[in-house]
Amino acid sequence: MIPVTKPFLPPKEEYLDLIKGVWQNNWLTNNGPLVNNLEFRLKRYLNLKHLLFVSNGTIAIQIALKSLGITKEVITTPFSYVATTSSLVWEGCKPVFIDIDKDTFNIDPDKIEEAISDDTEAILATHCFGNPCDVDKIREIAEKHDLKVIYDAAHCFGTKYKGKSIFEWGDISTASFHATKLYHTVEGGAVFTSDPALLKQMAWRRNFGHKGMEDFYGVGINGKNSEFHAAMGIVNLSYIDQLLENRKKQSFAYDKMLSKAAVKKPRIAEHTAYNYSYYPVVFENEQITLRIMNSLERKGIYPRRYFYPTLSSLNYVEHSETPVANDISSRILCLPMYHQLTDVEIEMICRLIAMVLNN
Ligand SMILES: *Cc1c(COP(=O)(O)O)cnc(C)c1O
């Protein structure tokens, strides 16, 4: 079977080696030495001053919203994973969906201003498939209207924009280190900010609001992560350059074999070192897309309709017209992409696609 993605697992011994210390000092969670070590290494790798390792990419968004004091309307994308929207609603905010750009699949900055109301407090945008949003334009609009910006950068590990980690953009950026992501800690995530006061707030919010043993800064949640997850993160970080390099090769192999096929790919933002984390392709119409999906599934290959349906159609949000997102969503597939995927498998997938497209 060829699924859309498979978690990367490092050599078992390397993981177990790190875990030995957990038995020695009986420290399993609560800001332990491995968590601290991972945070240190991630900062060094990403060349960032601040970040916090948290329990997953969803709680990361929730901690970001809570720490920025966002409680009302948030302008957001309909084309992302459900967690981008559900965390807004969970925090009591109202998602206001605007359409995406037809070429990048990211939020269309030209649609932001017309969606701003007296209740608008923030923009929550996803760098879809690791492709940076128009961050410069979004910053300009946010500054003009005094809005906060949060980036759901769940897909972005390794992506750089203008030579810096994409996690540097926004008041806060969030990442997911879930097992299915390019870089993972089994379950996990992170929040990023350049503001030390905001970092400190997110740190106490992550830990129940604790201010010492018996005092509290304010309302918090359990957003901590464990030594076991940190250990996986430390080992996996030593493979990250290999993972990124291989993704690029695999992506080029797909490009080459699909060069004659009628498929459209997202346009990657300028000034970007892309991480090639996913391989999304858009076909001519929904019917062809479903035929390709069926034909691949019959051979045990499982692409996924990322992202279908659009988030503005969820049953707990106010609907809005997002025709571009609906259109892309109806005819996009993410083709299999993971470290162990071979050239032969990529060739087989592309041949099956060509067979459907050619008849
Ligand atoms: C994976 C993902 C999340 C959620 O991350 P978890 O770590 O699974 O909670 C949020 N947003 C996007 C865009 C994602 O792909």
CATH code where residue 93 lies: 3.40.640.10
- CA atoms of 325 and 169, how far apart (whole Å): 24
Domain boundary among 206, 237, 268: 237
Q: Are residues 301 and 227 in the same domain?
A: no
Domain boundary residue, one of 237, 269, 289: 237
User: Closest residue (by CA) to atom 13 of ligand 1?
Assistant: 81
CA of 154 to the centre of ligand 1 (A): 5
Contact, 225 vs 35, CB < 8 A?
A: yes
Q: Ligand 1 within 6 A of 56 CB?
A: yes
**How many A from CA of 292 to the centre of ligand 1?**
26
pLDDT in tens, the chain (359 residues): 999 999 999 999 999 999 999 999 999 999 999 999 999 999 999 999 999 999 999 999 999 999 999 999 999 999 999 999 999 999 999 999 999 999 999 999 999 999 999 999 999 999 999 999 999 999 999 999 999 999 999 999 999 999 999 999 999 999 999 999 999 999 999 999 999 999 999 999 999 999 999 999 999 999 999 999 999 999 999 999 999 999 999 999 999 999 999 899 999 999 999 999 999 999 999 999 999 999 999 999 999 999 999 999 999 999 999 999 999 999 999 999 999 999 999 999 999 999 999 98
- The boundaries of the domain holding residue 94 are 12-98+105-237
For residue 93, being part of any structural domain is answered with: yes
Q: Is residue 6, in this structure, part of any structural domain at all? A: no
Distance of CA 14 to the CA centre of its chain: 27
Spatial strand order of the sheet with 148-152 comes to 52-54, 189-192, 172-176, 148-152, 120-126, 73-76, 94-97
> Which one of 221, 237, 253 terminates a domain?
237
Query: How many residues comprise the chain?
Result: 359
CA diameter of the chain: 70
Task: Among 55, 62, 81, say which to mutate for ligand 1: greatest number of ligand atoms within 8 Å of CB.
Answer: 81
Whether 233 and 250 share a structural domain: no
Question: Rounded CA gap, 297 and 291, in Å?
Answer: 10
Structural domains in the chain (count): 2
- Together in a domain, 265 and 225: no
68 and 131 fall within a common domain: yes
Q: Is 84 in the pocket of ligand 1 (CB under 6 A)?
A: yes
Q: Give yes or no: residues 217 and 267 share one domain.
A: no
* CB of 220 shorter than 6 A to ligand 1: no
Q: Are 8 and 184 in contact (CB under 8 A)?
A: yes
Would 276 be classed as within a structural domain? yes
Comparing CA positions, the residue from 182, 299, 203 lying closest to residue 251 is 182
Query: Within this chain, do residues 82 and 199 fall inside the same structural domain, yes or no?
Result: yes
Determine the distance separating the centroid of ligand 1 and the alpha carbon of 57, expressed in angstroms: 5
Q: Are the C-beta atoms of residues 91 and 66 closer than 8 Å to each other?
A: yes
Q: Is residue 153 part of a domain?
A: yes
Residue 313 CB burial class (10 angstroms; 0-12, 13-18, ≥19)? middle
